[in-house]
Amino acid sequence: MDKKLLTQALMKFFSGVLFLGLLIFLPAGSMRFWNGWLLMGILFVPMFVAGIIMLSANPELLRKRLNAKEEHKEQRTVVALSGGMFIVSFVLAGLNWRFRWLILPHWVVCAAAILFLASYLLYAEVLRENTFLSRTIEVQEGQKVIDTGLYAIVRHPMYMATLVMFLMMPLVLGSLPSFLVSLLYLPILAKRIRNEEAVLEEGLEGYKDYKKRVKYKVIPFVW
Protein backbone atom coordinates (compact mmCIF):
# COMPACT_ATOMS: atom_id res chain seq x y z
CA MET A 1 0.00 0.00 0.00
CA ASP A 2 1.21 3.50 -0.88
CA LYS A 3 1.47 5.10 2.58
CA LYS A 4 2.12 8.56 1.14
CA LEU A 5 -1.03 8.37 -0.98
CA LEU A 6 -3.00 7.03 1.99
CA THR A 7 -1.83 9.93 4.18
CA GLN A 8 -2.67 12.47 1.47
CA ALA A 9 -6.14 10.96 0.98
CA LEU A 10 -6.90 10.89 4.72
CA MET A 11 -5.74 14.47 5.21
CA LYS A 12 -7.96 15.70 2.36
CA PHE A 13 -10.88 13.62 3.60
CA PHE A 14 -10.82 14.82 7.21
CA SER A 15 -10.07 18.42 6.25
CA GLY A 16 -13.14 18.26 4.00
CA VAL A 17 -15.26 16.87 6.85
CA LEU A 18 -14.07 19.63 9.18
CA PHE A 19 -14.49 22.43 6.64
CA LEU A 20 -18.01 21.41 5.60
CA GLY A 21 -19.02 20.88 9.22
CA LEU A 22 -17.92 24.40 10.10
CA LEU A 23 -19.75 25.85 7.07
CA ILE A 24 -22.98 24.13 8.04
CA PHE A 25 -23.13 24.07 11.83
CA LEU A 26 -21.58 27.43 12.73
CA PRO A 27 -24.25 29.45 10.84
CA ALA A 28 -26.92 27.11 12.22
CA GLY A 29 -25.74 27.97 15.74
CA SER A 30 -26.41 24.40 16.88
CA MET A 31 -25.23 20.83 16.40
CA ARG A 32 -28.89 19.77 16.39
CA PHE A 33 -29.23 20.71 12.71
CA TRP A 34 -30.18 17.16 11.70
CA ASN A 35 -30.16 17.92 7.97
CA GLY A 36 -26.49 18.79 8.31
CA TRP A 37 -25.71 15.40 9.85
CA LEU A 38 -27.72 13.69 7.12
CA LEU A 39 -25.74 15.43 4.39
CA MET A 40 -22.42 14.71 6.11
CA GLY A 41 -23.36 11.04 6.31
CA ILE A 42 -24.51 10.49 2.73
CA LEU A 43 -21.60 12.55 1.39
CA PHE A 44 -18.61 11.32 3.39
CA VAL A 45 -19.42 7.68 4.16
CA PRO A 46 -19.66 6.66 0.47
CA MET A 47 -16.65 8.90 -0.28
CA PHE A 48 -14.57 7.09 2.35
CA VAL A 49 -15.58 3.67 1.04
CA ALA A 50 -14.84 4.71 -2.56
CA GLY A 51 -11.43 6.02 -1.50
CA ILE A 52 -10.52 2.73 0.18
CA ILE A 53 -11.58 0.80 -2.93
CA MET A 54 -9.56 3.05 -5.25
CA LEU A 55 -6.54 2.90 -2.95
CA SER A 56 -6.46 -0.89 -3.16
CA ALA A 57 -7.72 -1.45 -6.71
CA ASN A 58 -6.57 1.63 -8.66
CA PRO A 59 -4.26 3.94 -6.69
CA GLU A 60 -3.36 5.91 -9.82
CA LEU A 61 -7.01 6.89 -10.28
CA LEU A 62 -7.17 8.00 -6.65
CA ARG A 63 -4.02 10.06 -7.17
CA LYS A 64 -5.66 11.78 -10.15
CA ARG A 65 -8.83 12.47 -8.17
CA LEU A 66 -6.83 14.07 -5.36
CA ASN A 67 -5.06 16.43 -7.75
CA ALA A 68 -7.19 19.58 -7.96
CA LYS A 69 -4.59 22.02 -9.29
CA GLU A 70 -5.82 23.44 -12.59
CA GLU A 71 -3.30 24.53 -15.21
CA HIS A 72 -5.77 26.53 -17.33
CA LYS A 73 -6.60 30.06 -16.15
CA GLU A 74 -10.21 29.76 -17.28
CA GLN A 75 -10.66 26.59 -15.23
CA ARG A 76 -9.12 28.20 -12.16
CA THR A 77 -11.81 30.88 -12.51
CA VAL A 78 -14.50 28.19 -12.77
CA VAL A 79 -13.19 26.44 -9.65
CA ALA A 80 -13.15 29.73 -7.73
CA LEU A 81 -16.71 30.56 -8.78
CA SER A 82 -17.91 27.07 -7.85
CA GLY A 83 -16.21 27.27 -4.45
CA GLY A 84 -17.75 30.65 -3.70
CA MET A 85 -21.18 29.41 -4.72
CA PHE A 86 -20.96 26.36 -2.44
CA ILE A 87 -19.75 28.39 0.54
CA VAL A 88 -22.68 30.80 0.19
CA SER A 89 -25.10 27.90 -0.27
CA PHE A 90 -23.95 26.00 2.83
CA VAL A 91 -23.77 29.07 5.07
CA LEU A 92 -27.22 30.13 3.89
CA ALA A 93 -28.58 26.65 4.69
CA GLY A 94 -27.37 26.92 8.28
CA LEU A 95 -28.87 30.39 8.66
CA ASN A 96 -32.11 29.21 7.03
CA TRP A 97 -32.47 26.45 9.66
CA ARG A 98 -31.47 28.79 12.49
CA PHE A 99 -33.98 31.50 11.66
CA ARG A 100 -36.63 29.22 10.09
CA TRP A 101 -36.94 31.17 6.86
CA LEU A 102 -37.99 28.69 4.16
CA ILE A 103 -37.74 25.13 5.50
CA LEU A 104 -38.53 22.35 3.03
CA PRO A 105 -40.78 19.44 4.13
CA HIS A 106 -39.27 16.12 5.22
CA TRP A 107 -40.42 14.27 2.12
CA VAL A 108 -38.41 16.64 -0.11
CA VAL A 109 -35.34 16.09 2.08
CA CYS A 110 -35.72 12.30 1.91
CA ALA A 111 -36.29 12.28 -1.85
CA ALA A 112 -33.23 14.49 -2.34
CA ALA A 113 -31.12 12.15 -0.19
CA ILE A 114 -32.17 9.15 -2.29
CA LEU A 115 -31.34 10.98 -5.53
CA PHE A 116 -28.02 12.06 -4.06
CA LEU A 117 -27.07 8.46 -3.26
CA ALA A 118 -28.23 7.36 -6.73
CA SER A 119 -25.92 9.95 -8.26
CA TYR A 120 -23.05 8.44 -6.26
CA LEU A 121 -23.74 5.10 -7.95
CA LEU A 122 -23.76 6.86 -11.31
CA TYR A 123 -20.47 8.53 -10.43
CA ALA A 124 -18.93 5.17 -9.50
CA GLU A 125 -19.99 3.71 -12.83
CA VAL A 126 -18.35 6.62 -14.67
CA LEU A 127 -15.10 6.02 -12.78
CA ARG A 128 -15.28 2.33 -13.72
CA GLU A 129 -15.77 3.13 -17.40
CA ASN A 130 -13.14 5.87 -17.68
CA THR A 131 -9.90 5.45 -15.74
CA PHE A 132 -8.51 8.64 -17.34
CA LEU A 133 -10.81 10.82 -15.24
CA SER A 134 -9.04 13.47 -13.21
CA ARG A 135 -10.30 16.56 -11.41
CA THR A 136 -8.33 18.83 -13.72
CA ILE A 137 -8.72 19.56 -17.43
CA GLU A 138 -5.93 17.78 -19.27
CA VAL A 139 -5.14 15.23 -21.96
CA GLN A 140 -3.12 12.40 -20.44
CA GLU A 141 -0.51 10.20 -22.05
CA GLY A 142 -2.17 7.22 -23.70
CA GLN A 143 -5.65 8.67 -23.26
CA LYS A 144 -8.30 7.59 -25.73
CA VAL A 145 -11.90 8.52 -26.41
CA ILE A 146 -14.38 6.50 -24.33
CA ASP A 147 -17.60 6.04 -26.29
CA THR A 148 -19.29 3.07 -24.62
CA GLY A 149 -21.71 2.74 -21.71
CA LEU A 150 -22.81 6.09 -20.34
CA TYR A 151 -20.40 7.82 -22.73
CA ALA A 152 -22.55 6.59 -25.62
CA ILE A 153 -25.48 8.58 -24.17
CA VAL A 154 -23.86 11.85 -23.05
CA ARG A 155 -20.35 13.21 -23.51
CA HIS A 156 -19.91 14.14 -19.85
CA PRO A 157 -21.66 11.58 -17.62
CA MET A 158 -19.44 12.60 -14.70
CA TYR A 159 -20.95 16.08 -14.84
CA MET A 160 -24.41 14.54 -15.06
CA ALA A 161 -23.71 12.79 -11.74
CA THR A 162 -22.17 15.84 -10.07
CA LEU A 163 -24.99 18.08 -11.28
CA VAL A 164 -27.53 15.88 -9.49
CA MET A 165 -25.30 15.75 -6.40
CA PHE A 166 -24.79 19.49 -6.19
CA LEU A 167 -28.44 20.35 -6.76
CA MET A 168 -29.58 17.80 -4.16
CA MET A 169 -27.26 19.04 -1.40
CA PRO A 170 -29.27 22.18 -0.51
CA LEU A 171 -32.50 20.16 -0.67
CA VAL A 172 -31.06 17.61 1.77
CA LEU A 173 -30.26 20.58 4.00
CA GLY A 174 -33.91 21.61 3.70
CA SER A 175 -33.05 25.06 2.37
CA LEU A 176 -34.91 26.57 -0.55
CA PRO A 177 -32.73 29.74 -0.58
CA SER A 178 -29.62 27.55 -0.85
CA PHE A 179 -31.16 25.62 -3.73
CA LEU A 180 -31.77 28.86 -5.62
CA VAL A 181 -28.12 29.82 -5.12
CA SER A 182 -26.98 26.38 -6.30
CA LEU A 183 -28.72 26.93 -9.66
CA LEU A 184 -25.76 29.18 -10.46
CA TYR A 185 -23.82 25.95 -10.92
CA LEU A 186 -25.52 25.48 -14.31
CA PRO A 187 -23.81 28.42 -16.09
CA ILE A 188 -20.57 27.67 -14.22
CA LEU A 189 -20.68 24.07 -15.43
CA ALA A 190 -21.46 25.19 -18.98
CA LYS A 191 -18.36 27.40 -18.91
CA ARG A 192 -16.21 24.52 -17.67
CA ILE A 193 -17.49 22.17 -20.36
CA ARG A 194 -16.84 24.67 -23.16
CA ASN A 195 -13.21 25.00 -22.11
CA GLU A 196 -12.78 21.27 -21.50
CA GLU A 197 -14.12 20.34 -24.92
CA ALA A 198 -11.83 22.88 -26.59
CA VAL A 199 -8.85 21.23 -24.85
CA LEU A 200 -10.01 17.73 -25.81
CA GLU A 201 -10.68 18.67 -29.44
CA GLU A 202 -7.17 20.04 -29.72
CA GLY A 203 -5.29 17.31 -27.91
CA LEU A 204 -7.34 14.09 -27.98
CA GLU A 205 -7.48 12.19 -31.27
CA GLY A 206 -10.99 11.25 -32.33
CA TYR A 207 -12.81 13.61 -29.99
CA LYS A 208 -14.24 15.77 -32.78
CA ASP A 209 -15.81 12.67 -34.39
CA TYR A 210 -17.09 11.58 -30.99
CA LYS A 211 -18.87 14.93 -30.56
CA LYS A 212 -20.65 14.36 -33.86
CA ARG A 213 -21.83 10.90 -32.77
CA VAL A 214 -22.96 11.86 -29.26
CA LYS A 215 -24.99 15.05 -29.42
CA TYR A 216 -25.85 15.63 -25.76
CA LYS A 217 -23.33 16.96 -23.25
CA VAL A 218 -24.86 16.29 -19.83
CA ILE A 219 -28.59 15.50 -19.89
CA PRO A 220 -30.03 13.16 -22.57
CA PHE A 221 -32.42 14.94 -24.97
CA VAL A 222 -32.04 18.21 -23.00
CA TRP A 223 -28.43 19.43 -22.84
**Domain contains 220:** no
Average pLDDT over residues 78-106: 94
Average pLDDT over residues 63-80: 73
pLDDT single digits (tens) 98-120? 999 999 999 999 999 999 999 99
| Residues spanned by the domain of 147 | 3-213
pLDDT single digits (tens) 126-160? 888 877 665 555 566 667 888 888 999 999 999 99
Domain count along the chain: 1
**Domain contains 47:** yes
Question: Residue 33: which CATH number?
Answer: 1.20.120.1630
Contact 107, 115 (CB under 8 A): no
Q: d(Cα 208, Cα 173) in Å, to the nearest integer?
A: 40
**Domain contains 222:** no
**Domain contains 9:** yes
Least confident of 31-45, 84-98, 208-222: 208-222
Q: pLDDT band for position 211 (50/70/90)?
A: very high
Contact 172, 38 (CB under 8 A): yes
Average pLDDT over residues 66-84: 77
**Domain contains 209:** yes
Contact 200, 130 (CB under 8 A): no
